[in-house]
């Protein structure tokens, strides 16, 4: 396995809308990419990672919200087919290390996607995983959680983020 580089804001690739994965491209090479993404996500203590965050132009994200890191979710060509309610919770992002903000999301979502073998499945979720699905799917649509913030809040968090990035140079 190989750890991948996580692109950091304001990298322009984070604004890219990812292309769908063709069914014939769901193969051993893609499964190795998925393993590399899990290694990268776990190493950076994340709960989700979209392909666009590691510079890959494909509609794919991975998640694992468990403490034991044993509840892996792989979503190829994901789409939210139903959502209900509204909740505002704190979110962070591996592409925005060191900062977080309260983001409004649907309280419950139902997602349809393909697994690493090309099998279609549906997943209903609320709480952390429900938010994570929405967050990662946003990445595949060229949207970051910053885009959900008011201009004032975005400006405050962006200032803090830039200060952190300078300190880490």
State the catalytic residues. 136
Distance in angstroms between the alpha carbons of the first and the last residue of the chain: 27
CB environment 9-44: b (16+ within 10 A), e (fewer): beeeebeeebeebeeeebeeebeebbebbbebbbee
The closest alpha carbon to 40, from 29, 55, 26, belongs to 55
Helix (H) or strand (E) holding 42: helix 28-43
């Amino acid at each position: 396995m190989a750890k991948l580089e996580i692109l950091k804001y304001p990298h322009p690739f984070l604004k890219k809308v990812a292309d769908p994965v063709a069914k014939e491209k769901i193969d051993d090479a893609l499964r190795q990419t998925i393993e590399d993404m899990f290694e990268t996500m776990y190493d950076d203590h994340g709960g989700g990672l979209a392909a666009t965050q590691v510079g890959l132009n494909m509609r794919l994200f991975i998640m694992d919200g468990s403490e034991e890191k044993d509840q892996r979710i792989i979503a190829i060509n994901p789409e939210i087919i139903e959502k209900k309610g509204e909740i505002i919770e704190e979110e962070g992002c591996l592409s925005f290390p060191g900062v977080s903000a309260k983001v409004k999301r649907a309280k419950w979502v139902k997602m349809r996607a393909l697994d690493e073998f090309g099998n279609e499945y549906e997943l209903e979720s609320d709480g952390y995983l429900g938010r994570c699905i929405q967050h990662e799917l946003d990445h595949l649509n060229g949207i970051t959680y910053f885009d959900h913030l008011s201009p004032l809040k975005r400006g405050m968090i962006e200032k803090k983020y830039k200060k952190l990035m300078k300190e880490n140079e």
